[in-house]
């Protein structure tokens, strides 16, 4: 079934966002599940070329079969080359990725975050872009990832598994971006997932949610796994604009 590329656009009102980051634009990709190039990726490449974000983030499962990571590397790089973010591309690995893929892709000019943070500074404060290692769940070490982060920093966490939201909240996350669920991939006609792939409720399987003061954004991804098709669950990317709460238009 042909499903054209689509990008959902959201503004997030953030109480603690430093003034210097008001209007920051992020493009969020997830679950590419790429092994070989295809006509589907031709369409996504063309669509992504229209995007001009400040930051590109990818929350895991760039490849599909971990043992074919060398074959995946070129097509993944080609797709990411379609976007030229001003401040860089940052990514984490997911459960389908080989651990060898991360350093190989980093060598092409992207930044792999493995339980670590990159600090961006602008007038008015700092933004900590925190990447949590989630190639496997047991690799998750949020305290290590936050070791250079100040309590006053605005904290944006990259997760693969959305159901790690509560651990991230305990660490003071302002925003969590995640993937993994594919939005269910195969859903009922109303979009509710048949399989969730995590322990969160059905309504949190995709989209933007407010969880006790933390924004959680769950990306359906652009690829598929297992049965390689989607039903009532179209692929997408997400474009986010961060706003200081008092400047958000009503």
Residue 1's pLDDT band (cuts 50, 70, 90): low
Cβ atoms of 181 and 217 within 8 Å: the answer is no
Which residue's entry shows tokens 């009532």?
A: 232
Q: Count CB-CB contacts under 10 A for residue 117.
A: 23
**pLDDT at res. 135:** 81
Cβ atoms of 41 and 75 within 8 Å: the answer is yes
State the chain's mean pLDDT as an integer. 93
Q: What sections of 55-150 are H helices per DSSP?
A: 69-81, 101-106, 142-145
**pLDDT at res. 136:** 83
- Mapped to the 3 state alphabet, what secondary structure does 84-108 carry? CCCCCEEEECCCCCCCCHHHHHHCC
Label residue 95 exposed, middle or buried (CB < 10 Å: 0-12, 13-18, 19+). middle
Residue 202's pLDDT band (cuts 50, 70, 90): confident
- Of 245, 21, 29, the closest CA to residue 127 belongs to 21
Cβ atoms of 162 and 216 within 8 Å: the answer is yes
Q: How many helices (H) and strands (E) does the chain have?
A: 5, 12
Residue 220's pLDDT band (cuts 50, 70, 90): very high
95-133, pLDDT tens digit by residue?
Answer: 999 999 999 999 999 999 999 999 999 988 999 999 999
Q: Which two tokens stand for residue 250?
A: 């009503």
**pLDDT at res. 249:** 52
Sheet holding 25-29, edge to edge: 7-14, 237-244, 25-29, 55-59, 89-92, 111-112
Cβ atoms of 59 and 28 within 8 Å: the answer is yes
Q: In a 3-state reduction of DSSP, which class is residue 28?
A: strand
Q: Which two tokens stand for residue 110?
A: 């992207």
Q: Which domains does the chain have, with CATH numbers?
A: 7-247 (3.60.21.10)
């Amino acid at each position: 079934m042909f499903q054209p590329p689509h990008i959902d656009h959201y503004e997030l009102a953030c109480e603690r966002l430093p003034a210097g980051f008001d209007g920051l634009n992020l493009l969020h990709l997830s679950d590419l599940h790429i092994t070989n190039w295809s006509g589907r990726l031709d369409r996504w490449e063309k669509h992504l070329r229209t995007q001009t974000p400040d930051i590109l983030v990818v929350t895991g499962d760039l490849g599909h079969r971990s043992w074919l990571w060398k074959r995946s590397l070129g097509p993944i790089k080609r797709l990411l080359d379609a976007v030229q973010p001003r401040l860089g591309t940052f990514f984490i690995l997911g459960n389908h990725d080989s651990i060898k893929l991360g350093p190989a892709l980093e060598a092409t000019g992207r930044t792999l975050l493995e339980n670590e943070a990159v600090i961006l500074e602008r007038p008015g404060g700092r933004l900590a872009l925190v990447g949590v290692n989630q190639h496997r769940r047991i690799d998750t070490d949020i305290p290590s990832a936050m070791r250079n982060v100040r309590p006053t920093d605005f904290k944006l966490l990259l997760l693969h598994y959305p159901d790690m939201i509560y651990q991230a909240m305990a660490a003071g996350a302002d925003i969590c971006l995640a993937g993994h669920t594919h939005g269910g991939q195969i859903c009922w006609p109303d979009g509710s997932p048949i399989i969730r792939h995590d322990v969160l409720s059905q309504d949190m399987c995709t989209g933007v949610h407010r969880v006790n003061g933390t924004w959680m954004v769950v990306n359906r991804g652009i690829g598929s796994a297992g049965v390689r098709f989607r039903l009532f669950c179209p692929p997408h990317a997400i474009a986010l604009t961060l706003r200081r709460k008092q400047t958000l238009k009503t």
